[in-house]
């Protein structure tokens, strides 16, 4: 079938550079042409051909997290003397360029890949090695004096790099998420006070039950968001325990005794995150329980957020034959058969769940209340 990155079941993908603009690289499997302008190398090219699954690119926070680890490793090995200053400094400079937003187009391995992230790890190793060699006067694809495995990946394994990167990437996104939830909770609580004098029907199974104030409903929404925020923060704390330094199976083979502690020290400085050296690196590498618990907290928030959005959509239904107890601000007209503004923001929340935390301005109405 040829290059599977070009053709998958007859579909042509986005790779457009001419095949003549290539260089030949070699690995234990043989030779392979690699785009001449690419900072990545043969292992990345094999992965690009082997995994044309989603045609998505890796997320920026994940790229950052892996490059943080590579930078920390270079600094650690320079400190211990295992890596000479010339190579280490070049790797650090290359990493800093990537972290500043450069060379992102060279991280090309599909997120859906086999091998527990080996292909992405090698993608980062090759990009940093080739760029470091350029900084030292070398050319792409020669891997001298900086080698992707021997120097960029020194004392590392995909098995400790990728789990650590997952933790770092999630923690890096945490402050913005918690701040967004705080803003959303405050907005609900403010409306709870504004609507506190508005009496309405409370309902169960859409049937009228007992009276309740609209403010009580909105205050409860705010408290739900607060509880979810605190639950997410608590679940995230376990992600701060890092297993980096465990190498292949957690035992630290090929890593110096000081390596794990120094890695955590440098990662704290690089990321400005609160991080801890893991007590049991075998456990941290073999278990994704901490990441699963964090994911579970996010999913729990998604459930609550979806319920809140569905409530608001129902309360805003109408305007003639629905409940019409609140009026949402118009953001987009409906179809020709339903020209009234449709509840776009609640619908977006139901569809995307945890990604919606945008605060809207609300106003009161004579019936009950309004956003």
Q: Of 192, 191, 211, 193, give the one whose Cα is nearest residue 201.
A: 211
Instruction: Give me the pLDDT at residue 348, please.
Output: 67
Instruction: Give me the pLDDT at residue 115, please.
Output: 86
3-class DSSP string for 105-143: HHCCCCCCCCCCCHHHHHHHHHHHHHHHHHHCCCCCCCC
CATH architecture of 7-154: Orthogonal Bundle (1.10)
Query: Do 275 and 261 touch, CB atoms closer than 8 A?
Result: no
Instruction: Give me the pLDDT at residue 342, please.
Output: 59
What pTM was estimated for this model as a whole? 0.87
Q: Output the CATH code of domain 173-256+279-355.
A: 1.20.200.10
Catalytic residues: 205, 335
Beta strands 276-277 and 207-213 are unpaired
Query: Do 43 and 122 touch, CB atoms closer than 8 A?
Result: yes
pLDDT < 50 stretches in the chain:
1-17, 19, 354-371
Query: Do 236 and 271 touch, CB atoms closer than 8 A?
Result: no
Query: Do 35 and 22 touch, CB atoms closer than 8 A?
Result: yes
Q: Of 164, 150, 154, 171, give the one whose Cα is nearest residue 250.
A: 164
Q: Give the burial string for 185-208 (b: 16+ CB within 10 Å, else e).
A: bebbbebbebbeebebeeeeeeee
**Structure tokens given for 184:** 């959303």
Q: Do domains 7-154 and 173-256+279-355 have the same CATH topology?
A: no
The residues spanned by each domain of the chain are 7-154, 173-256+279-355
Instruction: Give me the pLDDT at residue 343, please.
Output: 64
């Amino acid at each position: 079938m040829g290059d599977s990155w070009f053709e998958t079941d007859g579909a042509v993908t986005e790779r457009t550079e001419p095949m003549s603009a290539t260089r030949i690289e070699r690995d234990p499997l043989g030779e392979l042409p690699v785009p001449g302008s690419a900072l990545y190398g043969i292992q990345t090219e094999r992965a690009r051909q082997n995994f044309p699954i989603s045609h998505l690119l890796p997320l920026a926070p994940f790229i950052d997290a892996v490059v943080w680890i590579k930078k920390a490793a270079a600094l650690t090995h320079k400190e211990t003397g295992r890596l000479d200053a010339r190579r280490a400094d070049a790797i650090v400079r290359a990493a800093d360029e990537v972290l500043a937003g450069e060379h992102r187009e060279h991280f090309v391995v599909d997120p859906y890949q086999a091998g527990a992230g080996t292909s992405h790890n090698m993608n980062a190793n090759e990009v940093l090695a080739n760029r470091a060699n350029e900084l030292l006067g070398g050319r792409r694809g020669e891997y001298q004096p900086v080698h992707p495995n021997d120097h960029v990946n020194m004392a590392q394994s995909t098995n400790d790099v990728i789990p650590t990167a997952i933790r770092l990437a999630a923690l890096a996104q945490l402050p913005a998420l918690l701040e967004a939830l705080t803003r959303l909770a405050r907005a609900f609580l403010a409306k709870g006070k504004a609507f506190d004098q508005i009496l309405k029907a409370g309902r169960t199974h859409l049937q009228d039950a007992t009276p309740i104030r609209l403010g009580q409903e909105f205050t409860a929404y705010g408290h739900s968001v607060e509880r979810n925020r605190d639950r997410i923060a608590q679940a995230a704390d376990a992600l701060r325990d890092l297993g980096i330094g465990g190498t292949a199976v957690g035992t630290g083979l090929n890593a110096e005794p000081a390596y794990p502690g120094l890695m955590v020290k440098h990662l704290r400085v690089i990321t400005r995150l609160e991080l801890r050296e893991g007590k049991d690196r075998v456990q941290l590498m073999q278990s994704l329980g901490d990441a699963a618990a964090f994911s579970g907290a996010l999913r729990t928030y998604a459930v609550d957020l979806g319920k809140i959005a569905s409530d608001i959509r129902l309360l805003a239904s109408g305007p003639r034959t629905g409940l019409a107890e609140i009026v949402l601000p118009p953001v987009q007209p409906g179809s020709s058969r339903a020209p009234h503004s449709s509840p776009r923001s609640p619908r977006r929340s139901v569809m995307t769940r945890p990604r919606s935390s945008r605060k809207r301005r609300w106003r009161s109405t004579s019936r009950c209340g309004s956003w």
